[in-house]
Amino acid sequence: MADFDLNRADPDFKHAVAGRPGAENISRCYACGACSARCPVGDLNPEFDPRRLIRLVVLGLKEEVLSSPLLWFCSTCYTCQETCPEGVDFTEVLFALKNMAAEAGFFPPSMSAQVDLLRKHGRLYEVTDFENEKRRDLGLPELTEKPEHFQTILEHFQLGPETEA
């Protein structure tokens, strides 16, 4: 059983999380546990516990939360959000936490690969002649890519901590 040293906790962490768009309602949570009870991921992996995650945020255990791989195990099924009697919108809270984790440099490698694909192709899959030929065979119109837009939009987007300008 782990020990959590509150002396090293960050009391501002919960306010920072509540300041993120979509995560404002985290303060409504009264730990009833309905979310954890219905979470399908929690069924398979008991460590994935929405209520526990919120408690860790409230206690200010920032590093523990943001560095945890558990954050990325959410299947975004929205069951917790639909079940919550207080409207905490936990799926959105988790998106906010994932954003904060990414900013701090914690994210699964598959994610950065996806960003590259979007920058290059505007989609998660590259569309080549091979794909278009299969489409033609079925009478489907050709697909094009417009990566310029995505390069512009994602120009200032970076994963990981901001380096000193």
Q: For residue 143, state whether it binds another protein (rule: CB under 8 A).
A: yes
* CA atoms of 156 and 10, how far apart (whole Å): 29
Q: For residue 119, state whether it binds another protein (rule: CB under 8 A).
A: no
Residue 88: closest CA among 42, 23, 20: 23
Angle at 95 between CA 91 and CA 101, to 5 degrees: 140
Q: For residue 120, state whether it binds another protein (rule: CB under 8 A).
A: no
Beta carbon of residue 144, minimum distance to another protein (angstroms, whole number): 5
Contact with another protein (CB under 8 A) among 11, 85, 105, 161: 11
Q: For residue 129, state whether it binds another protein (rule: CB under 8 A).
A: no
**Three-state SS at 18:** helix
Contact with another protein (CB under 8 A) among 129, 144, 162, 164: 144
Please give the residues from 35 up to 94 whose contact with another protein meets the rule CB under 8 A: 40-41, 44-45, 51-52, 55-56, 58-60, 72-79, 81-82, 89, 91
Angle at 163 between CA 57 and CA 59, to 5 degrees: 10
- Beta-carbon contacts of 18 under 8 Å, excluding residues fewer than 6 positions away, are 24, 26, 27
Q: For residue 136, state whether it binds another protein (rule: CB under 8 A).
A: no
Q: Is 4 or 85 the residue whose CB approaches another protein more closely?
A: 4
- Beta-carbon contacts of 55 under 8 Å, excluding residues fewer than 6 positions away, are 31
Burial 22-48 (b: 16+ CB within 10 A, else e): ebbbbeebeeeebbbebbebbeeeeeb
Contact with another protein (CB under 8 A) among 16, 34, 37, 154: 154
Q: For residue 26, state whether it binds another protein (rule: CB under 8 A).
A: no
Contact with another protein (CB under 8 A) among 19, 67, 111, 133: 111
Q: For residue 114, state whether it binds another protein (rule: CB under 8 A).
A: yes
